[in-house]
């Protein structure tokens, strides 16, 4: 299992290095995996792997900054804001899973009937993770 993965990694890195060299000549890219502290030298496999590990978080950050996605916690706060709920109210917003590509939250409130606490549903809400739009899915 390790050998095919190693070979795939070598092929991808070797193919990418040739293309990167052409792009660098045109002045299109910043520093890359093949840039080392010793100009003109070919980096070792270890240097290339370390460079790849360092570039992955930067690439993910760039993708997230270009196209924003709301996390589950962000979506939960959007539901609270949509319903104008204060943090100290006895209302809970619970993540229930996904419906299609949307977050699904159940909103409920703890109420007392005849001195007995009971959970009363206020509805199910969907949040679009790309736009942050909150919509009522089902009311009780």
What pLDDT digit, counting tens, does each position of 4-59 carry? Answer: 666 677 666 666 655 544 444 554 455 554 554 555 677 777 776 666 666 555 55
| Pairwise CA distance, residues 21 & 3, whole Å | 27
Quote helix, strand, coil % in the chain, to nearest 5: 40, 25, 30
pLDDT beyond 90 at 77: yes
Sheet holding 102-113, edge to edge: 91-99, 102-113, 116-127, 134-138
Between 43 and 137, where is the model more confident?
137
48 class by beta-carbon count within 10 Å (0-12 exposed, 13-18 middle, 19+ buried):
buried
User: What is the reported pLDDT for 36?
Assistant: 47
pTM score: 0.51
Q: Report how far residue 16's alpha carbon sits from residue 89's, in angstroms, rounded to the nearest whole number.
A: 55
Task: Give the integer Cα–Cα distance in Å for 128 and 126.
Answer: 7
**Higher-confidence residue: 77 or 35?**
77
| C-alpha span between 35 and 45 (Å, rounded) | 13
118 pLDDT tier (thresholds 50, 70, 90): confident
């Amino acid at each position: 299992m390790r050998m095919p993965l190693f070979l795939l990694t070598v092929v991808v890195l070797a193919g990418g290095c040739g293309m990167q060299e052409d792009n660098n000549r045109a002045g299109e890219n910043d520093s890359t995996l093949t840039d080392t502290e010793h100009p003109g030298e070919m980096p070792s496999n270890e240097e290339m792997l370390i460079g790849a590990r360092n570039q992955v978080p930067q690439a993910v950050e760039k993708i997230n900054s270009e196209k924003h996605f709301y996390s589950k916690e962000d979506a939960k706060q959007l539901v609270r804001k949509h319903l104008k709920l204060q943090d100290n109210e006895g209302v809970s917003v619970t993540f229930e899973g996904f419906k299609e590509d949307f977050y699904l939250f159940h909103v409920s409130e703890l109420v007392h009937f005849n001195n007995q606490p009971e959970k009363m549903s206020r509805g199910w809400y969907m949040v679009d993770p790309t736009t942050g739009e909150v919509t009522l899915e089902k009311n009780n």
